[in-house]
Structure 1
Amino acid sequence: MPLISLDIPRPAIVSGSSGGIGRAIALAIAELGCPVVAHYGKSAEAAGETVQQIARAGGRAIAVRADLTNVADAERLVEKSRRAFGRIGVLVNNAGVATRRDVCANTVDDFDGAISANARSAFLLTQLVLPDMRELGWGRLIFLSSIAARTGGVISTPYAGSKAMVEGMMHHYAAHAAPFGVTANAIAPAFIATDMIAGSALPPHMPIRRYGSPEEVAMVAQTIIACGFMTGQTIEVNGGLHMS
């Protein structure tokens, strides 16, 4: 019997499931018994590996491609998910972009791209699945944020701004979707061992002197899904780099 379990496992969509944090969360959600839709944008092979890992562990999963900056594509993703597994009960908004820029090199295109990929896509998917959650009387919305939403981070101005927007949306959903049995929370990682931070040195004042793992972020996602009394929170997974 796992330490965390669900009475009724609900179908889940995890955006950006090709690897890293997204893949780890998809696998962790499958451990709860949830059928998983592993969304991907470009790498069918990597998303297929996520599905295969879930299947080898005895779970159910499919991979679905979608450009989440495109409304019709996002709608198709949700419809394919419903046809495969039924009404969606869990949504993890993990997909996004992070392009490093010197502060003076930020462009309007960088800004528009970050907002579209990181914030607009999360809004779009959330609006599409909320009716399912309302009908179920149960739902879990998880938004992947970043330490950059609080400290500015090291990536770029547009990235930090888009993650702050994600947390603002999360707070609104938490306040207004609770009567439907829906919780909304965010996870804000930093210095997790993924391609995004490859080559980045650990800050000298970081208390835990190592990189975090995607699996450690995924543990938090499991807890958020299992706990119906937590909403409107940002859980920081950052080795003590920013304490709240």
Structure 2
Amino acid sequence: MSSHAETHGKLALITGCTGGIGKATAISLAKLGCNIAVHYLSENEGAEALVSNLLSLGVKASAFQADFSTYDAVRKLHADVVEKMGYPDILFNNSGVTGPMIGPKGNIQDITPEIFEETWRINTGSSFLLTQLCLPHMESEKYGRIIFCSSVAAGTGGVVGPHYASSKSAMHGLVHWIASRYAQDGITCNAIAPALIKDTNMMKDVSEDLKTRIPVGRFGKSDDIAPIVELFVLNSYMTNKIIVADGGMTPSAF
């Protein structure tokens, strides 16, 4: 295990940690010496297998179940993590749902306000609340890393629907406000916006034809995303940024 002095012994809470991106990031940060709080929704066996893997890397790790459709579950998750492992220094808000897939040419009538609000609550509201709960400790330590897993859909509308795209673009406003407000306290806040990452639940049933849209000619892998999260953790000068990782589909500049 090669650890950095700055990250050694820091506690990283990763939500949606049994999915492709969460798992790859957990292993990546454990190799930097971070202890890992593994959040999962239903993949109990996957969470325990990941914990065993992380323990073998010489760090502390524990699994925590929570259903982010209620805010009380988010509060309980934070309390459980604090009780068992301490206060998180690094928070990767990676958990999320797509909700109904209506596609880019779908009918907006198919998304009820209730579906819209539930998608926002699980994707954006829960991440906001968990960040709110983690911030006081980060302020007191004058160190914190907050990372959101957004989506290319936040900037393009995407292929799921308006409920999902808007829940992700809302994260960007959060990133900009939090980053500006807490930079003076040694806390950075950034987001990664991936697209078409193959080894994730969201991409289970995706058509191979979509590959033709990607300039690099292949789908992304979770191992393409984890190093970007690692960059956010290691770089104290990089904050207030949304990094798009989509194989070159969307050109962007600041």
- Under a length normalisation based on structure 2, what TM-score does the superposition of the two structures give? 0.91
In structure 1, the partner of 2:231 is: 223
In structure 2, the partner of 1:101 is: 102
For 1:118, which of 117, 120, 123 is the aligned residue?
A: 123
For 2:158, which of 136, 153, 157 is the aligned residue?
A: 153
Kept in 2, the 8 Å contact 1:188–1:236? The answer is yes
In structure 1, the partner of 2:244 is: 236
In structure 2, the partner of 1:78 is: 78
Kept in 1, the 8 Å contact 2:196–2:203? The answer is yes
The number of equivalent residue pairs is 243
CA-to-aligned-CA distance 1:62-107 (integer Å, 9 cap, x gap): 0001122323322221122222332211000011101312421222
In structure 2, the partner of 1:168 is: 173
Tell me which moved more, 19-28 or 111-120. Answer: 19-28
- Which letter maps to 1:179? Q
Q: Does 1:32 align with 2:63?
A: no
Write the distance in 2 (CA, Å) between the matches of 1:86 and 1:43: 23
1:174 Cα deviation from its structure 2 partner: 0.4
* SS of aligned partner of 1:210: coil
Write the distance in 1 (CA, Å) between the matches of 2:188 and 2:218: 31
Tell me which moved more, 30-39 or 97-106. Answer: 97-106
CA-to-aligned-CA distance 1:182-225 (integer Å, 9 cap, x gap): 00000000011123123233253421000111011011111100
In structure 1, the partner of 2:147 is: 142
In structure 1, the partner of 2:202 is: 196
Q: Over the residues paired in the alignment, what is the CA RMSD in angstroms?
A: 1.6
Kept in 2, the 8 Å contact 1:202–1:209? The answer is no
In structure 2, the partner of 1:90 is: 90
Write the distance in 2 (CA, Å) between the matches of 1:6 and 1:243: 36
Kept in 1, the 8 Å contact 2:211–2:219? The answer is no
- Which letter maps to 2:143? W
* SS of aligned partner of 2:54: helix
- Which letter maps to 1:81? V
Q: Give the direction of change, closer, same or farther, for the CA distance of 1:71–1:109 in structure 2 (3 Å limit).
A: closer
In structure 1, the partner of 2:66 is: 66
- Which letter maps to 2:71? V
Percent of aligned pairs sharing the same letter: 35
Tell me which moved more, 75-84 or 11-20. Answer: 75-84
Write the distance in 1 (CA, Å) between the matches of 2:191 and 2:85: 25
In structure 1, the partner of 2:44 is: 44
- Which letter maps to 1:147? V
CA-to-aligned-CA distance 1:93-128 (integer Å, 9 cap, x gap): 011101312421222222112101110010010000
- Under a length normalisation based on structure 1, what TM-score does the superposition of the two structures give? 0.94
Write the distance in 1 (CA, Å) between the matches of 2:211 and 2:220: 13
Instruction: Structure 2: give runs of 5+ residues left out of the alignment.
Output: none
Tell me which moved more, 217-226 or 203-212. Answer: 203-212
Write the distance in 2 (CA, Å) between the matches of 1:179 and 1:240: 34
1:8 Cα deviation from its structure 2 partner: 4.3
Instruction: Structure 1: give runs of 5+ residues left out of the alignment.
Output: none
